[in-house]
Amino acid sequence: MNTDFDNFRSLSIGTVNSVSSNEIRILLDVDAPQNTSINTGTPRSFPKINSYLMIPNEVGGIVGMVNWIGVEHSPYPKRKGYKDFDLIDLPFPLRKLCLVPIGTLKFTGKKGFEKYTLERGIYSFPSVGDIVVLPTDEQLNSIVENRDENAAIIIGKAPIANNAEVRINPDKLFGRHFAVLGNTGSGKSCSVAGLIRWSIQAAKNSCKSNNDSINARFIVLDPNGEYCNCFNELGKPVRLFKVVNVSSSDGESATQLKVPAWMWNSDEWITFSQASPGVQRPLLLDTLRFIKSGVQYSPQPLARLVKLLTARKLNFELWSSNPNMSYGEVQECGKKIGTLDYDLRHLYIPNKKQVFDEEVIKKLNLLAEKCKEVHDRTYSNNNNTIRYSDFREVELLSILTRIKNVLEVLPSFEDNSNLVSPDTPRYFDVLDLPDFLDNYASTETSGRDLSQFVNSLNLRIKYLMRDERAKSVIVDELKIDFAEWLEMIIGGNSADNGYISIIDLSLVPADIIHILISVISRVVFEAVQRYKRKVGAELPTVLVLEEAHTFIRENRFNETTYSQLCRETFERIAREGRKFGLSLLLSSQRPSELSSTVLSQCNTFLLHRIVNDRDQDLIRRLVPDNIGALLNELPILPTRKAILLGWATPIPILVEMRELSKQDRPMSNDAQFWKVWINEEDRKINWKDIADEWQGYNGSDSNESTENNTMSNLIDDSKDIPSNPFPKSLS
């Protein structure tokens, strides 16, 4: 279609004065509108910052955004047409403005039935002297409105473009991660809740079958408990999970949040227990392998004997193959022989009636006698200095043979061929782990008793599990089926399963909240990853994280292991999640503290009011330089106003977000100080109920518990639960 330049002449307001790759300067006509334009058919404010103008060309028109308006005084005559040479031209002010080129509006169709399509980018720049025109209402709507086939989600309107609807394509919005950034009170949480609600409503409206059968999945990680009541009217029950299973007076029902420790991987266990890399970490990982594989490590003599003899077998196989042992090896060999003789005679042989049969006892005696014989020959003690002389190879082989003879008649307590990875999510009783770890360390296959190295590790594990809030989440008394857990959190095929999972983490202890968020996010990621591998198609899922700056902090020198674990998990999701249909929706009030890796993977941004200079500088580095003037409005954006830019929108748009009804908003409103002060809003106070809940008492039982409990029952190691560590009689 040829461009209708005759029609454009009636809309002309100036000409191109200068052109560069990122800026086009315009000289407005003397008769251009001063404050209101009516030549487009509708009264419209002009000129105006962030408004759109067009420069016609061969395919349609270049679209530019106004980022500067000013007046310059010219000493030269500028009158056009007939000139009266008897008059003297005096200097007078000229109005000018600056455009930032943002795209090309293409025209298709016949005259009178034109269709407009906006393409981002400029491939044919204008020339000096080209006319500049005001876009018509239809053209303006085409510039602002997203004409993608699936742009079905209406998030607001564009005040700068006659309140045209702002639509987005969910494939673009969620396909490449999305960040909502803004200071507290700028409407950020309402935007997140609205995006979820409007997406589901748009899917229902577009669903060709029953609109309750849409297959949407949103998982909201809510550290402040803001979103519990936001989606109650969407038609399907919201899957709400809390630390404590409660039903509140407003009808809100919740399921006990369970993130069982048996589904944690090795990194999460190491972070949780703070296992040191020297001895504790290998012991912990080996213990997880055995306990997840169902291997039983019993503290009974039979199991301990098998571990002891297996360890000594490895020792003597090494020593018997090396007749020229060093002095240190000779001394170590002598100590092992003496210790083995002592353990057999005092710990194992006396238990023959309870554990061992006669054949085992007979072979144990033969082994003990040989050990005593070799030990007595090589042992010497001069002035309390114990030394051993060289051992004969035949002696070591004889001890080794007798060890093998005993092991032949004893059962095996390990089958390494069936051991699983410590990362495998298999059930085991978490409360058994400390004892299992202690027993495994005391009979570890290297032949050394390493129980002393796991004492502090076990203390940390027991301490964290003693907190009732943590215990209720990570200890699984009901033996939850892993598939059922995935269906609860991610969603399944059931018609009543719901679209949204809200995980309220507001009462999770600070010690483990990073771990729980990391575990949930990792398991969701690996689940959709395995789904695609098995089915061959993605399972679109949106993972929403509030207060993202708290859990995905930029790597710092003094970073805690908890923060590092959480950050690394989300960085992996940010890099790889798109391939498997897992999208991140991040909400943060401090973008400068977010991981640069995660933020760089976000392709769409919704920017609310941002005042901090560091945050503004970061945003400017993330977006194209030619819309810098639009970002200058960040510090003064009112509530509900935001700038949408990135992959999901053809051009950056200033959006007035749709308003949510009061009952659909997150619980993040500002406190009503004045109304409470003057008693317009009542606030009844019952600190007793709050204190009893905080301290773990059940109402009337609190006094009785305080009087009758022993000191050991009253002591609570949780630093977050204030309690009196002594009975009243002692305090």
Of 703, 195, 237, 154, nearest to 500 by C-alpha is 237
Pick the last residue of a domain from 622, 644, 664: 664
Give the pTM.
Answer: 0.76
Would you say how long the chain is, in residues? 731
Q: Which pLDDT score is estimated for 88?
A: 58
Based on the domain organization, do 487 and 586 belong to the same domain? yes
Q: Which pLDDT score is estimated for 719?
A: 40
* Bridging pattern class, strands 164-168 and 153-158: antiparallel
Based on the domain organization, do 507 and 651 belong to the same domain? yes
Q: With b meaning 16 or more CB within 10 Å and e meaning fewer, what string describes 271-310?
A: bbbebeeebbbebbbbbbbbbbbebebeeebbbbbbbbbb
Based on the domain organization, do 381 and 454 belong to the same domain? yes
Based on the domain organization, do 247 and 271 belong to the same domain? no
Based on the domain organization, do 128 and 245 belong to the same domain? no
Q: Which pLDDT score is estimated for 494?
A: 58
Give CA–CA dist 709/208, Å, rounded: 63
Greatest C-alpha distance within the chain: 136
Token representation of residue 547:
């207060």
Total domains in the fold of the chain: 4
Q: Is the dihedral of CA 333, 337, 342, 347 positive or negative?
A: positive
Phi, psi angle pair for 421, to nearest 5°: -70, 150
- Write out pLDDT tens, residues 307-334: 788 888 888 888 888 767 888 888 888 8
Q: Which pLDDT score is estimated for 83?
A: 56
Domain assignment of residue 421, yes or no: yes
For residue 84, what are the contacts with CB-CB under 8 A and spacing of at least 6?
Answer: none
Domain assignment of residue 158, yes or no: no
Cβ atoms within 10 Å of 515's Cβ, excluding its own: 26
**Domain assignment of residue 726, given as a range:** 671-731
Domain assignment of residue 152, yes or no: no
Give CA–CA dist 257/37, Å, rounded: 59
Q: Which pLDDT score is estimated for 33?
A: 81
Pick the last residue of a domain from 609, 642, 664: 664
Q: Which pLDDT score is estimated for 84?
A: 56
Of 608, 596, 587, 513, nearest to 543 by C-alpha is 587
Q: Which pLDDT score is estimated for 561?
A: 85
Based on the domain organization, do 140 and 181 belong to the same domain? no
Please tell me whether residue 153 adopts helix, strand or coil conformation. strand
Give CA–CA dist 248/232, Å, rounded: 14
Give 3-12 contacts, CB < 8 A, sequence gap 24+.
3/56, 3/57, 3/58, 3/59, 3/60, 3/61, 3/107, 4/111, 5/56, 8/56, 8/131, 8/133, 9/131, 10/39, 11/39, 11/40, 11/133, 11/134, 11/135, 11/136, 12/131, 12/132, 12/133
Residue that the structure tokens 């309402």 belong to: 190
Domain assignment of residue 466, yes or no: no
Q: Which CA distances in Å does 602 have to 174, 178, 443, 560?
A: 10, 5, 50, 25
Residue that the structure tokens 């495994």 belong to: 440
Give CA–CA dist 460/275, Å, rounded: 9
Based on the domain organization, do 312 and 415 belong to the same domain? yes
Based on the domain organization, do 438 and 303 belong to the same domain? yes
Domain assignment of residue 507, yes or no: yes
Give CA–CA dist 256/503, Å, rounded: 10
Based on the domain organization, do 518 and 659 belong to the same domain? yes
Based on the domain organization, do 305 and 424 belong to the same domain? yes
User: Do 494 and 211 touch, CB atoms closer than 8 A?
Assistant: no
Of 126, 120, 171, 119, nearest to 150 by C-alpha is 171
Based on the domain organization, do 287 and 340 belong to the same domain? yes
Alpha helices in 468-540 (DSSP H): 468-474, 482-490, 513-535
Angle between helices 433-442 and 280-292 (to 10 degrees): 120
Domain assignment of residue 149, yes or no: no
Which CATH number covers residue 201?
3.40.50.300
Domain assignment of residue 159, yes or no: no
User: Do 320 and 394 touch, CB atoms closer than 8 A?
Assistant: no
- Write out pLDDT tens, residues 664-674: 888 876 677 88
Please tell me whether residue 92 adopts helix, strand or coil conformation. strand
Token representation of residue 521:
């996010």
Based on the domain organization, do 411 and 292 belong to the same domain? yes
Domain assignment of residue 475, yes or no: no
Token representation of residue 321:
């193959």
Pick the last residue of a domain from 645, 664, 683: 664
Q: What residues of the chain score a pLDDT lower than 70? A: 1-9, 39-42, 74-92, 109-113, 209-212, 245-252, 296-301, 303, 323, 351-355, 412-418, 442-449, 494-497, 624-628, 669-670, 693, 696-731
By 3-state DSSP, what share of the chain in percent is helix, strand and coil, each rounded to 5?
A: 40, 20, 40
Q: Which pLDDT score is estimated for 703?
A: 52
Of 153, 154, 147, 157, nearest to 116 by C-alpha is 147
